[in-house]
Structure 1
Amino acid sequence: MTAHHRTSHVARGFAGALAAAILVCGAAAAGPALADPAALPTSATDAIAQMVDLSRQAEALNQESLTAQTELDAALGVQHEADGKLAAATAVADAARAEVRKFQPMIDRAAVAAYTGARTDRMFAVLSSNSPQQLLDKMSTLDVLSQQTAASVREFKKAADVATAAESAARAAADTARAATTAAETFRAEVDRKRQDLGVATTQVVEAWGALSAHDKSTLAGSPFPPGFDRDSLLAGLVPGSGTSALAAALTRVGDPYVWGATGPDQFDCSGLVQWAFKQVGKNVPRTSSAQAGFGTPVAKSDLQPGDVVLFYPEISHVGIYAGNGMMVHASTFGVPVAVAPIDTTPYHSARRY
Structure 2
Amino acid sequence: MTAPHRNSRAARGFAGALSAAILVCAVYTAGPATSDPVALPTSATDAISRMVDLSRQSEQLNQQALDAQTDLDAKLAVQRDADSKVAATTAVVEAARAEVRKYQPMIDRTAVAAYTGVRTNSMFAVLSSGSPQQLLDKMSTLDVVAQQTADTVRQFKQAADAATIADNAARAAADAAHTATAAANAVRTDVERKRQDLAAATTGVVEAWSQLSASDKSTLAGSPFPPGFDRDSLLAGLVPGSGTSALAAALTRVGDPYVWGATGPDQFDCSGLVQWAFKQVGKDVPRTSSQQANFGTPVSRDELLPGDVVLFYPDITHVGIYAGNGMMVHASTFGVPVAVAPINTTPYHSARRY
TM interval, short-chain normalised? over 0.9
Q: Is the 8 A contact 2:17 2:205 kept in 1?
A: no
Instruction: Name the amino acid aligned to 1:95.
Output: A
Quick one: distance in 1 between partners of 2:171 and 2:294?
37
Equivalent residue for 2:350? 350
Matched ranges for 1:100-249 at <5 A: 100-249=100-249
Cα displacement (A) at 1:138: 2.3
Aligned with 1:328: secondary structure? strand
Partner of 2:21: 20
In the TM superposition, what whole-angstrom CA distance separates every residue of 1:186-224 from its partner, at most 9, and x where no partner exists? 221111111111111111111111111111111111111
Q: TM-score, normalised by structure 2?
A: 0.95
8 Å contact from structure 2 (residues 25, 54) kept in 1: no
* 8 Å contact from structure 1 (residues 18, 35) kept in 2: no
What is residue 325 of structure 1 aligned with on the other side? 325
AA aligned opposite 2:14:
G
1:26 is paired with a residue whose SS is helix
Which amino acid in 1 is paired with 2:236?
A
Aligned position for 1:294: 294
**Whole-Å separation in 1 of the counterparts to 2:61 and 2:34:** 12
Please name the residue that 2:267 is paired with: 267
**Cα separation, 1, equivalents of 2:39 and 2:161:** 74
Q: Does the 8 A contact of 1:275 with 1:287 survive in 2? A: yes
Mapped partners of 1:170, 1:147: distance in 2: 34
Cα drift, residue 136 of structure 1? 2.5
Partner of 1:73: 73
SS in structure 2 of the partner of residue 236 of structure 1: helix
Deviation at 1:13, TM superposition (A): 2.8
Q: Cα distance, 1:299 vs. partner?
A: 1.7
For residue 166 of structure 1, report the CA deviation from its aligned partner: 1.4
Other-structure match for 2:97:
97
Deviations 1:66-92 (A, max 9, x none): 111111111111112222222222222
Tell me the residue number matched to 1:54: 54
Are the counterparts in 2 of residues 224 and 339 from structure 1 also a CA contact under 8 Å?
yes
User: For residue 82 of structure 1, what is the aligned residue in structure 2?
Assistant: 82
Shift of 1:14: 3.0
Q: Map 1:32-43; keep pairs closer than 5 Å.
A: 33-43=33-43
CA 32–293 in structure 1, closer or farther in 2 if over 3 Å, else same:
farther
8 Å CA contact 2:20, 2:204 repeated in 1: no
* 1:126 aligned partner, one-letter code: V
TM-aligned CA distance change 1:32 to 1:340, over 3 Å:
farther
Q: Report the aligned-residue RMSD.
A: 1.6
Shift of 1:12: 4.2
What is the rounded CA distance, in whole Å, between the counterparts of 1:33 and 1:297 in structure 2? Answer: 32
- Evaluate the alpha carbon distance shift between residue 46 and residue 24 of structure 1 in structure 2; reply closer, same or farther with a 3 A threshold: closer
- Following the alignment from structure 2 to structure 1, what is the Cα–Cα distance between the partners of residues 240 and 170? 54
Asked whether the equivalents of residues 285 and 295 of structure 2 are also in contact (C-alpha less than 8 Å), the reply is yes
More displaced 10-residue stretch of structure 1: 265-274 or 186-195: 186-195
* Alpha carbons 2:85, 2:173 under 8 Å: kept: yes
Where do 5+ consecutive residues of structure 2 fail to align? none
- Counterpart residue type for residue 27 of structure 2: G
Residue 310 of structure 1 is matched in structure 2 by: 310
Shift of 1:24: 4.8
Closer, same or farther: CA 107–34 of 1 in aligned 2, 3 Å: farther
- For the residue of structure 1 that corresponds to 2:172, the secondary structure is helix
TM-score normalized by the length of structure 1: 0.95
CA contact (8 A) 1:250 1:329 kept: yes
Residue 310 of structure 1 aligns to a residue whose secondary structure is: strand
* TM-aligned CA distance change 1:31 to 1:170, over 3 Å: farther
Amino acid at match of 2:108: D
Cα pair distance change 1:32/1:243, threshold 3 Å: farther
Matched, 1:11 2:21: no
Shift of 1:258: 0.6
What per-residue deviation string (whole Å, max 9, x for no partner) do you get for residues 39-92 of structure 1?
211111110011111111111111001111111111111112222222222222
Judging changes above 3 Å, is the alpha-carbon distance between structure 1 residues 24 and 306 closer, same or farther for their aligned structure 2 residues?
closer
The answer for unaligned runs of 5 or more in structure 1 is: none
Note if contact 1:11-1:47 (Cα within 8 Å) is conserved in structure 2. Answer: no
